[in-house]
Amino acid sequence: MSAVTPDQLHDDHHHHGPTGLMRWITTTNHKDIGTMYLIFSFIMFLSGGVMALTIRAELFKPGLQIVQPEFFNQLTTMHGLVMVFGAIMPAFVGFANWMLPLMIGASDMAFARMNNWSFWLLPVAAILLISSFFVPGGATAAGWTLYAPLSVQMGMGMDLTIFAVHIMGISSIMGAINIVVTVLNMRAPGMTMMKMPLFCWTWLITAYLLIAVMPVLAGAVTMILTDRHFGTSFFNAAGGGDPVLYQHVFWFFGHPEVYIMILPAFGIVSEIIPTFARKPLFGYASMVYATASIAILSFVVWAHHMFTTGMPAATQLFFMYATMLIAVPTGVKVFNWVATMWRGSMTFETPMLWATGFIFVFTMGGFTGLICAIAPIDIQVQDTYYVVAHFHYVLVAGSLFALFAGAYYWLPKWTGYMYSEFIGKLHFWCSIIFFNITFFPMHFLGLAGMPRRIPDYALQFADFNALASIGAFGFGLSQLIFIVAVVKCVRGDGKKAAASPWEDAHGLEWTVPSPAPHHTFETPPVVK
Ligand code: CU
């Protein structure tokens, strides 16, 4: 085992391949591909962010001022699609590519060439999606959920969107297969499943979710495609079909998709909290089982998105109680994070700020989720800004904050240099303050009855909308701080990071249950 050092395993310099642009196009190196996923997802995050800011500019005050209603609807739709499929999902795949092989002691991902293809499909899909703004009729305006019958009737922007969704789905499925095979087959000797860092577990379970539900989404949009062009009537009542069927198929994908976007975030937070609390993760095994329970339950709650479609009361009750049941394993996780911090010797470097910010604000999104799960309340807040507030607490303060936590945590590992704590903390505090200014007022707007996906509104909603728009521009500008932090880190402005940066700084790097074996992310464990 001592013949090959981990540095040689991961060394690019001994690789006599193409250079320059061709190196990036043809690379099979998991670190290169991870980097490309992260850069791609950040570009998409900025694109989706520009759309969000255009939406918030229009909603700054009542009356139409910046965009026409048709274009506004295209913006809300494309903002959702770009953020979900372009920003959040690929960002987590980028983390998986970078960290999974290092964490389990594998030389690379199992299918290195397929990995390259998985990535390069994404820019193609993104170009298709964005170019739909420029075709006759513009981008699809059916909402990111692409509900029939509207999506069946939209212009050719919808066809580009369907094609883009298919390509992104292929990319996701291949990425997921790669992760499953890597984690199950490529662990170093001694790295048993229950010794894996929790990030590996959360991604393994997420990969199974992806393999199970991405084909369902592909089926849903294919049925729209054939309804549009091949004379079928899956969702056309006049032809014997049912538009509500689309909602069932879509949300059978859509609810597990919510956990695809949050389980890897749970994994990242579960790596960071122990490091900065200087204690091993509390309840490692229960974290694994809670993650699996959430994933399994996520398949039987889909119709909580459809309480107003005329379901029988008994069906509503089933989906209401099943949804509430998910709060149990999620509560186990939050309890375990807090128990990990309990009596820990905590410090609040930038990754820990993002991770604790995640727990606090994401949990608020969890609570409003429970409120939306109550069928009689949901019927009141359906399609209002309350729902918009809820899922932005989950996806921004949840998924996005965890991504930033992980980025600051592993930037020293990725670049070889420490980032600036001042810049990182500035980024965090600006983000969490402006995030709450943007989205907290939306709870009140929703409870007062303001509908979502509407370019104009009654005068009574003016004050909270102005506040939300100010918050949104503050939040958007705050993200430029992250660019500064990353550029300075990559340029090597900070001090040099050790092979195990946080262990170097703190003397501890707990990632596995007590007693924690020595683990640096770079040294494959060896059985003596
Ligand atoms: Cu759901």
Q: Which amino acid is at 474?
A: G
Given a contact cutoff of 8 angstroms between Cβ atoms, the answer to whether 224 and 162 are in contact is yes
The domains of the chain are located at 22-245, 262-514
* Catalytically annotated residue among 202, 206, 330, 415: 330
Nearest Cα neighbor of 32 from 15, 54, 49 is 15
Round the CA-based radius of gyration of the chain to a whole number and report it.
Answer: 23
Q: What is the mean pLDDT of residues 193-203?
A: 94
Q: Ligand 1 centre and the CA of 362: distance in Å? A: 15
Q: How many CB atoms lie within 10 A of CB 497?
A: 21
Residue 507 in this model has a pLDDT that exceeds 70: no
Given a contact cutoff of 8 angstroms between Cβ atoms, the answer to whether 143 and 452 are in contact is no
More confident residue, 519 or 325: 325
Percentage of residues of the chain with pLDDT beyond 90: 85
- Token reading at 72: 């506004």
Q: What is the mean pLDDT of residues 27-47?
A: 97
Given a contact cutoff of 8 angstroms between Cβ atoms, the answer to whether 270 and 287 are in contact is yes
In this structure, is the dihedral angle defined by the CA atoms of residues 451, 456, 459 and 465, taken in order, positive or negative? positive
Query: Active site includes 323?
Result: no
pLDDT band per the 50, 70, 90 thresholds, residue 10: low
Q: Specify the pLDDT at position 404.
A: 98
pLDDT band per the 50, 70, 90 thresholds, residue 20: confident
* Catalytically annotated residue among 270, 323, 384, 520: 270
The interaxial angle of helices 385-394 and 350-373, nearest 10 deg, is: 140
Say whether 262-514 and 22-245 share the same fold: yes
Q: Specify the pLDDT at position 504.
A: 57
Q: Which helix (DSSP H) or strand (DSSP E) does residue 5 occupy?
A: none
pLDDT band per the 50, 70, 90 thresholds, residue 222: very high
Q: What is the mean pLDDT of residues 358-386?
A: 96
Least confident of 20-29, 110-119, 419-428, 516-525: 516-525
* Catalytically annotated residue among 24, 259, 337, 409: 259
pLDDT tens track for 411-424: 999 999 999 999 99
Residue ranges with CB less than 5 Å from ion ligand 1: 255
Q: Which helix (DSSP H) or strand (DSSP E) does residue 487 occupy?
A: helix 462-491
Q: Specify the pLDDT at position 277.
A: 87
pLDDT tens track for 464-503: 999 999 999 999 999 999 999 999 999 998 888 877 778 6
pLDDT tens track for 455-464: 999 999 999 9
Q: Which amino acid is at 247?
A: Q
Q: Ligand 1 centre and the CA of 18: distance in Å? A: 45
Query: Active site includes 144?
Result: yes
Q: Ligand 1 centre and the CA of 372: distance in Å? A: 10
- Token reading at 204: 């393994």
d(CA 73, CA 76): 5
Residue 156 in this model has a pLDDT that exceeds 70: yes
Query: Active site includes 427?
Result: no
Q: Specify the pLDDT at position 207.
A: 98
Q: Specify the pLDDT at position 498.
A: 78
The interaxial angle of helices 350-373 and 421-447, nearest 10 deg, is: 10
Question: Count of residues for the chain?
Answer: 528
Residue 513 in this model has a pLDDT that exceeds 90: no
Given a contact cutoff of 8 angstroms between Cβ atoms, the answer to whether 106 and 188 are in contact is yes
- Token reading at 128: 């298709």
Measured between alpha carbons, how far is residue 334 from residues 19, 67, 331, 362 in Å?
Answer: 46, 42, 5, 10
Query: Active site includes 255?
Result: yes
Query: Active site includes 77?
Result: no
Q: What is the mean pLDDT of residues 356-371?
A: 95
d(CA 135, CA 137): 6
Residue 394 in this model has a pLDDT that exceeds 90: yes
The separation between the first and the last C-alpha atoms of the chain, rounded to the nearest angstrom, is: 10
**Which phi and psi angles does 522 have, rounded to 5°?**
-120, -20
Q: Ligand 1 centre and the CA of 288: distance in Å? A: 21
Residues 22-245: name the CATH superfamily.
Cytochrome c oxidase-like, subunit I domain (1.20.210.10)
Q: What pTM value is reported for the model?
A: 0.92
pLDDT tens track for 224-258: 999 999 999 999 999 999 999 999 999 999 999 99
Q: Ligand 1 centre and the CA of 305: distance in Å? A: 6
Q: Is 507 exposed, middle or buried (0-12, 13-18, 19+ CB in 10 A)?
A: exposed
Letter string b/e over residues 219-248, b meaning 16 or more CB atoms within 10 A of that residue's CB: ebbbbbbebbeeebebbbeeeebebbebbe
Query: Active site includes 14?
Result: no
- Please work out, in degrees rounded to the nearest 5, the angle formed at the alpha carbon of residue 256 by the alpha carbons of 250 and 259: 140
Q: Specify the pLDDT at position 357.
A: 97
* Catalytically annotated residue among 56, 166, 195, 255: 255
pLDDT band per the 50, 70, 90 thresholds, residue 511: very low
- Token reading at 67: 């965009």
Q: Is 57 exposed, middle or buried (0-12, 13-18, 19+ CB in 10 A)?
A: middle
Q: Specify the pLDDT at position 431.
A: 98
Least confident of 77-91, 189-203, 223-237: 189-203
Domain 262-514 has CATH 3.40.50.1860: no
Query: What does the mean pLDDT of the chain come to?
Result: 92
How would you classify residue 61: left for phi > 0, otherwise alpha for psi between -120 and 50, otherwise beta? beta
d(CA 56, CA 445): 14
- Please work out, in degrees rounded to the nearest 5, the angle formed at the alpha carbon of residue 502 by the alpha carbons of 285 and 10: 85
- Please work out, in degrees rounded to the nearest 5, the angle formed at the alpha carbon of residue 225 by the alpha carbons of 224 and 228: 85
Query: Active site includes 79?
Result: yes
Q: What is the mean pLDDT of residues 357-386?
A: 96
Residue 307 has what DSSP assignment? G
Q: Ligand 1 centre and the CA of 292: distance in Å? A: 17
Query: Active site includes 392?
Result: no
Measured between alpha carbons, how far is residue 279 from residues 195, 272, 343, 404, 421 in Å?
Answer: 16, 11, 9, 22, 22
